Structure 1
Amino acid sequence: MKTTAVRLYGKKDLRLESFELPDIKDDEILAKVVCDSLCMSSYKAATQGSDHKRIPNEVDKNPIIIGHEFAGELMKVGSKWADQFKAGDKFSIQPALNYEKGPVGILSAPGYSYTQIGGDATYVIIPGEVMEQDCLLPYKGAGFYPASLSEPLSCVIGAMHANYHTTPGSYVHKMEIVDKGKMAILAGVGPMGLAAVNYVLHRDDRRPSLLVVTDVDQARLDRAASLYTTEFAASRGIELIYLNTAGLADPVAGLKELSGGEGYNDVFVFAPVRPVVEQADAILAFDGCLNFFAGPSDPKFSAMFNFYNVHYAYTHVVGTSGGN
């Protein structure tokens, strides 16, 4: 089977090439890719090359196929999986395999680490570990793009689940955001920030009582407010505030004032920008959790963090990459 794919050979070295795929093994599946949505993580992989944690060192000799938010149709199923899948089935992929024996270990993922599977291809071979990890997801909906977009939404959901809080003296981490707490999403009106706002507003199991979403571009904030209105948020029991921090002399003071002076239980950072990270740290409430969602392209990216508050106010930070 001939496929055409965008392959990564190194830093900023992407090539559109056609090549032959081998016959599938008994534990593999041949698939046609119909839809692949674009993610900034692919841009980071393309700019970093083998310096990226998910890219193999020998990518210059064994190029990987880029793209990890994809969906399509199964073409031929190896005998090992014939009782679970069949030709013609529609599928999506969870690229966060968490498979220790992958090309780069636990961080191995289609679209980063594999030579025969990635979203920017016409046909791919799905390796056995994808099915072994339950990461080949049957899709029965209309079209294909909603299945592709399930991957970034999974990342947002995972981020909410990854936050944690404690009760002084118990030493037990209570996973999740604080129900009826105060939440801030900083730099939060890009595609992933909007996905987070959407998820927060539509959750039934828990939600904040206050949600403040910031950016420095008023046009982007206005668009977000038209998509996810304060009126709808209020109907869900959430006070939603869109805030342009570029217009504030002291953004930290302004944000803390909106919280009633207490700060925020859960703060999500959606841009790898040092002042935004430090702003997030400064507005944490007691036992506040900072989730650094936006992955930086600079391996040496850093920011100041108030360790006095870590010690006395129980503030803490988590980072999430991918869903499950």
Structure 2
Amino acid sequence: MSQLPETMKAVVCHGPEDYRVEEVNTPTAGPGEIVIKVKACGICGSDLKVYHGADMYWAGDDPWLKAPVIPGHEFYGEVAELGEGAAETHDLQIGDRITTDQINPCGNCMYCNSGKYWMCQVHNMYGFQREVAEGAMAEYMKFSPQSKIYKVPEGVNDYEASLLEPMACAVHAVQRATIEFEDFVVMAGAGTLGLCMIQLIKLKTPKTLVVLDANDRRLELAKKYGADICMNPTKEDVIQKVKDLTNGYGCDVYIEATGNPKGVTQGLEMVRKLGRYVEFSVFGKETTTDWSVIGDKKELDIRGSHLGPYTYPIAIDLFERGLVSAEGIVTHTFDIDDFPQAIATAQDPEAIKVSIKP
């Protein structure tokens, strides 16, 4: 019989800008399932786009986000309840610190069956679809039997553990860039994901790492984390400056993590012929460009990056060895009752990562 309370506090999304802190039923663990006591849940840029009603989440007869739903996909917690077989399958016991991927894969589609689970055709994401994948802005959260479980060791502190999902996604994006020793790399965007990527890019030891952001405070942190050159595109012609630094050719690698459509066109102009462009951002609206630059003009290698497949163990190891850090990235934490203040703070340019601790 479950020892968990019958009800819990949770943030419930009912619609754009209609989020309420409510008392809801506490999840229980069925066969193979795990319930965690949530220790932290970050507010992501995509959470803000959902909050403000971005069409990509809400539009159409079958929208991706199915309200009412408990949001939250950047999380970790302690094992609070184990369903039948879960302890043996995952080598777990009550109290273990764990996390799992943002995606709750179906386990049956072509992508899941070929090991590409992060591209699951059903694509249920924690915090976006009611019941099948409720999120972590709650006191408790349930993981499905298909979840890949990652233990969080003692050597990873609470701030670092709360950043495991963004860092895992950042690892995948940097892997997609296949950075070489002689590369001139431009990282566009120094938000949470960009600051994670900067640390990882530096570990790849490219010849030059340039970071672009419109927020000077974030650029200061980017410099601390290893950027060789920082530029503010609202204050200088960054495209011309990068070309001047590369004998007119442009950068070898451009990683886009601004969430701003201007970051796309800027990057396509800035990257050299035969260069590599990695698109990470989730956009709130469409962006357009002259596609001939990709083929006829430059023959670019365009690569997408989605989630953090197989990269959580890498992120955990890098944190544990002190090779990456959460210092300065998690800027604010709030109790679940203070969600209105948390979501407002997350939209403040002076904040970076805002976290909820139920």
Query: TM-score, normalising length from structure 1?
Result: 0.79
**Can you list the C-alpha shifts for 1:197-222, whole angstroms capped at 9, x where unaligned?**
11111x2xx43211111223444423
SS in 2 for 1:257: helix
Q: Mark the CA change 1:10 to 1:270 in structure 2 (over 3 Å): closer, same or farther.
A: same
Which residue is equivalent to 1:243? 231
Which residue is equivalent to 1:228? 225
- Cα offset, 1:88, TM superposition: 1.5
Which residue is equivalent to 2:242? 255
Confirm or deny: 8 A CA contact 1:4 1:16 kept in the other structure: yes
SS in 2 for 1:152: helix
Which residue is equivalent to 1:178? 180
Amino acid at match of 2:134: I
SS in 1 for 2:200: helix
Amino acid at match of 1:221: L
CA distance in 2, matches of 1:315, 1:93: 34
Amino acid at match of 2:273: F
Higher RCO (CA-CA < 8 Å; seq separation 6+): 2
Which residue is equivalent to 1:234? none
- Cα offset, 1:72, TM superposition: 1.0
Amino acid at match of 1:246: T
Query: TM-score, normalising length from structure 2?
Result: 0.72
**Can you list the C-alpha shifts for 1:14-57, whole angstroms capped at 9, x where unaligned?**
12111223542112122211111221121122333785189974
CA distance in 2, matches of 1:196, 1:13: 33
Confirm or deny: 8 A CA contact 1:3 1:124 kept in the other structure: no
Q: Mark the CA change 1:160 to 1:14 in structure 2 (over 3 Å): closer, same or farther.
A: same
Task: Give the alignment partner of residue 316 of structure 1, picking from 301, 306, 319.
Answer: 301
1:195 aligns with 2:193: no
- Cα offset, 1:59, TM superposition: 6.3
- Cα offset, 1:5, TM superposition: 0.9
1:129 aligns with 2:146: yes
Confirm or deny: 8 A CA contact 2:28 2:81 kept in the other structure: no
SS in 1 for 2:53: helix
**Can you list the C-alpha shifts for 1:245-275, whole angstroms capped at 9, x where unaligned?**
3333x43222111122221121012223233
Confirm or deny: 8 A CA contact 1:72 1:144 kept in the other structure: no
Bigger radius of gyration among the two: 1
Task: Give the alignment partner of residue 152 of structure 1, picking from 161, 166, 169.
Answer: 166
Amino acid at match of 2:250: G
Confirm or deny: 8 A CA contact 2:211 2:222 kept in the other structure: no
CA distance in 2, matches of 1:58, 1:213: 32
SS in 2 for 1:280: helix
Q: Let me know the Cα RMSD of the aligned residues.
A: 2.8
Q: Mark the CA change 1:50 to 1:189 in structure 2 (over 3 Å): closer, same or farther.
A: closer
Which residue is equivalent to 1:213? 211
Which residue is equivalent to 1:288? 275
**Structure 2: gaps spanning 5 or more residues:** 1-5, 110-119, 310-358
1:268 aligns with 2:261: no
- Cα offset, 1:100, TM superposition: 6.0
Which residue is equivalent to 2:328? none
Q: Which moved more, 1:192-201 or 1:106-115?
A: 106-115
CA distance in 1, matches of 2:139, 2:103: 21
Amino acid at match of 1:91: I
Amino acid at match of 2:271: L
CA distance in 2, matches of 1:58, 1:35: 24
Which residue is equivalent to 1:138? 151
Which residue is equivalent to 2:112? none
